[in-house]
Structure 1
Amino acid sequence: MKRLWLPLSLMLLGTLAGAQKTTLTIESWRNDDLKIWRDQIIPAFEKAHPNIHVVFSPSAPPEYNAALDAKLKAGTAGDLITCRPFDKSLELYNAKHLVSLNNLPGMNNFDSVAKDAWSTDDGETTFCVPMASVIHGFMYNKAIFKELRIAIPKSEAQFLAAADKIKKGGKYEAVVMGSKDQWEAATMGYQNIGPTIWDGEKGRKGLLSGSAQYNRGGFLKAFQSLAKWKNYLPRGYQALAYPDAQNMFTQGRGATYPTGSWEIGVFRQMNPKLDFSAFAPYTIEGKKCVISDHPDIGIGLNAASKNQAAARTFLTWVSSDAFAQLYANALPGFFPLANVKYTVKDPVAQEFLKWRSQCGKTFRSSYQILSRNANPNNENDLWNVSAQVLNGSMTPQQAGDFVQKNLGTWYAPQKGK
């Protein structure tokens, strides 16, 4: 009996120690990131916090909102809620499913542009930790640029001259984009080059206050600049869908590709041998460059969680340089939003990240508040008219007037403008 006492006591102590470990569950739509969380991010956190165990439990992206809502109502949702930007997460906060994180250690690592996507309209309360953004710009085929002796364009004039040279050569497509799916024309076109023209946050906030309009000033000029791409798009671009454009560029048939940093990992999978890099949105009228550093993903605390302290420990870690270093390299092209030091290994991701120190930053003009109306919807209107501008079926002025008129039908600060 004495021989059995020591092992049994040790087993009992081990059981008690195990019982003290807190388990946190993360709800997310990023099911394609499961392996990264399981093999890289969570082990790093648990090594630093051995008393907390973390489980990453994603749903399929299209099902996430409905699945999360059902779990929250049933009281079965995880401790940590991965937050989509803007209104969906604001709805969760207003419904008291997410808690204020204003006093969370580490929140001072984020500036107002980073926090806007997960804050109340007055900016007073932030309810999700900003985790990562994507940055807009242009990718280009390095071999084609070298072959045609084209320098990286810095201005609109240089970009159009490069596109003209590529088109006249007849061997490659100059600007790889289609207008069939519409959203690319707005997201990767208008919202890519536009921020520099409308002075970034000044212009975006001007739309919110009513001091700026889509049919004048920088917002109209952005439609005018976008219209200049029409002559350089692939033959039959009106029928070119997003996957078609991706294939065209990765197969080496096109020289430039207006896009965002989210494509880095995708392109490396589609063609590991493709030698590509990126350049920032070009300047127009000598204005300082402004990039769309668009918030993509955050993470918040379920108000009904029974593990509030452990969850706050995890959220504070998400705001740290240790997390930033891990995340930025696990998912090249998705950039941590914390103002902490980290380095990325992927050379194209390095190029995108460099622009943060060279340019101003903002995010897509229609995402905060302006797209809350179902019909007309500001984001959908921008998709529609941006495609029509590229197709030549709308002039830039007509596009601006259409979007502005629809916005003025429901958004009080823009009524009568």
Structure 2
Amino acid sequence: MSQSLRMAAAAAALVCSSFAGAGTLTIESWRVDDKGLWEDVLLPAFYKANPGITVKFAPTAPPEYNSALNARLTAGTAGDLVTCRPFDVSLDLFKKGHLDKLNGNPALKNFPESAQVAWQTDDGKDTYCVPMASVIHGFFYNKKVFAELGLAVPVTEADFFAAMDKIKAQGKVAPIAMGTADQWETHQIVYTGIGPNYWKGEEGRKALIAGKKKFTDPEFVKTWDVMAKWAAYLPKGYQAQTYGDSQNLFGTGRAAIYPTGSWDISYFEGNSKVEFGAFKPPVAKAGDPCYISDHTDIAMGINSKSKNKADAQVFLNWLASKEFADLYTNKVTGFFSLSKHAIDVKNPVAKEMIGWRNQCKSTIRLNAQIMSRGTPSMENEFWNVNSQVMNGKMAPKDAAAQIQTGFAKWYTPAK
């Protein structure tokens, strides 16, 4: 072989090696529990529609995901597709140039604007991840306990506390399976779950960001007032009760209701024999419009350094399809597609909860966007003050003042 031919062959080999990833995609994710689902259900469906492309689902444990993903993206070793957490975590990746801009991407046409906000810049001009699913907040209730006491599902705040009084008076089970040891539930489940009915969902949330409302305003203080009343219905020793303890209490039939989100449906169906239903957060008074926390939770974007962006786009297109929406919603029970596609939800509790979208206005967790960026961390502050309120150690008005003061320290519109 002549030298020129040898050089041409070497060049061709180099080109081929640089495209060794073509036809193969790797997905970065924190959803370790979904590995079997992807490998046994989702990816086979994708392969059927898109022969010639192979996909590896390579999850990292949730606590390590953010740091490990950042390290791989910086080193250029991350997968082609990045599962995106909502708001600031993924926004930071986009600002660092790790995620491709998806403006005008055909995959996005199947999602309402509201579903895209969690993966857009603050001004809404750039979108960098395709929405996948949300979780919906509410309450699970023990159907047997409610039937024995002749209780109807509570619709109003008064209904709720009347039911709690009746359950407490019977004395057989705890009215509410809830503890404050882990703290996070007091905020992410309770405050942001029941609060939208008082601050009118997006209206109140956006007013805080705009500086037109303060946490010391009545609608926000009212939520803490209601939380404080819960203490009388919590299990003995609830201050030392963890999230897992609460799951066990409800799952073994020793509590009547369990404040939670749709993500817990699969846990109880797999670990409990209790027949349970769901009800949405009660409104303040009869006739009030209802609001639900329908929190945008998971999306997917393209690694800006991927060597196989064409196939990555094919995958995003499939992610936006009705087939994926149906499979994901029905197989990852309690995680609901954010797409415009009409989905026939099979699980009865999940079907009940997703139906609330047609009855109520949706919002997201109160401080998920913008409000937790500064110091002190509003998220951490909420965990602290909310658990103190439920433990009877802090008055609702003092909780409101502490959150507002911390917010105003770094956020100019809140001053």
With the shorter chain as reference, the TM-score category is over 0.9
- The Cα shift of 1:248 comes to 0.4
Give the distance between the partners of 2:62 and 2:253, measured in 1 at CA.
30
2:17 equivalent in structure 1 = none
Q: Is the 8 A contact 1:85 1:295 kept in 2?
A: yes
2:283 is aligned to: 283
In the aligned structure 2, how far is the partner of 1:240 from the partner of 1:73? 40
Q: What does residue 27 of structure 2 align with?
A: 26
Shift of 1:238: 1.2
Alignment partners' CA distance in 1, 2:127 and 2:258: 35
Moved more, 200-209 or 212-221: 212-221
Matches for 1:106-145 after TM superposition, within 5 Å: 106-145=107-146
Shift of 1:145: 0.6
The answer to whether the 8 A contact 1:104-1:316 is kept is no
Does the CA contact (< 8 Å) of 2:22 and 2:308 recur in 1?
Answer: no
Q: Give yes or no for contact 1:195–1:292 (8 Å, CA) kept in 2.
A: yes
Alignment of 1:77-96 (within 5 A): 77-96=78-97
User: After the TM superposition, which residues 247-266 of structure 1 pair with which residues of structure 2 at under 5 Å, given as runs?
Assistant: 247-266=248-267
CA distance in 1, matches of 2:408, 2:57: 43
TM-superposed deviation, 1:339: 1.4
Structure 1 residues 218-239: Cα deviation after superposition (integer angstroms, max 9, x where no partner): 2111111222212111111111
1:157-306 residue pairs with structure 2 within 5 A?
157-271=158-272, 273-285=273-285, 286-306=287-307
The CA distance in 2 between the partners of 1:315 and 1:279, in whole Å, is 34
CA offsets, 1:361-394, max 9 Å, x none? Answer: 0111111111112x31111111111111111111
Give CA deviations for 1:182-211 in whole Å, capped at 9, x if unaligned. 111111111111011101111111111001
User: TM-score, normalization: structure 1?
Assistant: 0.92
Shift of 1:328: 0.8
Amino acid aligned to 2:402: F
Relative to structure 1, the CA distance from residue 370 to residue 21 in structure 2 (aligned partners, 3 Å threshold; closer, same or farther) is closer
Deviations 1:338-369 (A, max 9, x none): 11111221111111111011100011111111
Q: Distance in 1 between matches of 2:40 and 2:248?
A: 30
Higher mean C-alpha deviation, range 289-298 or range 21-30: 21-30
Whole-Å Cα distance in 1 between the matches of residues 316 and 213 of structure 2? 37
**Structure 1 runs (4+) greater than 4 angstroms displaced:** none
Alpha-carbon contact 1:142-1:277 (below 8 Å) kept: yes
**2:189–2:261 CA contact under 8 A, matched in 1:** yes
SS in 1 for 2:46: helix
- The answer to whether structure 1 residue 331 and structure 2 residue 325 are counterparts is no
Cα-to-partner distance string for 1:4-52 (whole Å, 9 max, x where unaligned):
xxxxxxxxxxxxxxx9971111111111110000010011011001121
Task: Give the Cα separation in 2 of the matches to 1:53 and 1:79.
Answer: 12
Amino acid at match of 2:227: L
Indicate conservation of the 8 Å contact 1:21/1:53, yes or no.
no
Structure 1 contact 20–51 (Cα < 8 Å) conserved? no
Counterpart of 1:364 in structure 2 is 365
Tell me, what secondary structure is at the counterpart of 1:132? strand
The Cα shift of 1:62 comes to 1.5
Q: Secondary structure at the match of 2:195?
A: helix
Report which stretch shifted further, 39-48 or 106-115.
Answer: 106-115
Equivalent position amino acid for 2:301 in 1: G
What whole-Å deviation, never above 9, does each CA across 1:113-140 have from its counterpart, x for those lacking one?
Answer: 3211111011111100111111000000
Return the offset for 1:83: 0.6
Q: Give the match for residue 388 of structure 2.
A: 388
**What secondary structure is seen at the aligned counterpart in 2 of 1:409?**
helix
Give the corresponding residue for 2:398.
Answer: 398
Q: State the Cα distance separating 1:106 from its structure 2 match.
A: 2.9
Q: Distance in 2 between matches of 1:56 and 1:292?
A: 29
SS in structure 2 opposite 1:57?
strand
Unaligned runs of 5+ in 2: 1-19
Contact residue 100 and residue 125 of structure 1 kept, 8 A: yes
Partner of 2:349: 348
Q: What letter is aligned with 1:276? A: F
Give the Cα–Cα distance (whole angstroms) in 1 for the partners of residues 318 and 214 of structure 2: 41
Structure 1, unpaired ranges of 5+: 1-18
Q: Which residue pairs with 1:409 in the alignment?
A: 409
Identity of aligned residues (%): 52
Stretch of structure 1 that moved more, 104-113 or 304-313: 104-113
For these two proteins, the number of residue pairs brought into alignment is 395
Counterpart-to-counterpart distance in 1, 2:189 and 2:64:
25
Matched residue, 2:76: 75
Deviation at 1:75, TM superposition (A): 1.2
Match of 1:43 in 2: 44
Q: CA–CA distance in 1 between the matches of 2:283 and 2:209?
A: 24
| Structure 1 stretch displaced more, 277-286 or 354-363 | 277-286
RMSD of Structure 2 on Structure 1 (CA): 1.3
Compute the displacement of 1:111 (Å): 2.3
Deviation at 1:287, TM superposition (A): 2.4
Counterpart of 2:319 in structure 1 is 318
Partner of 1:376: 376
The one-letter code matched in structure 1 to 2:400 is G
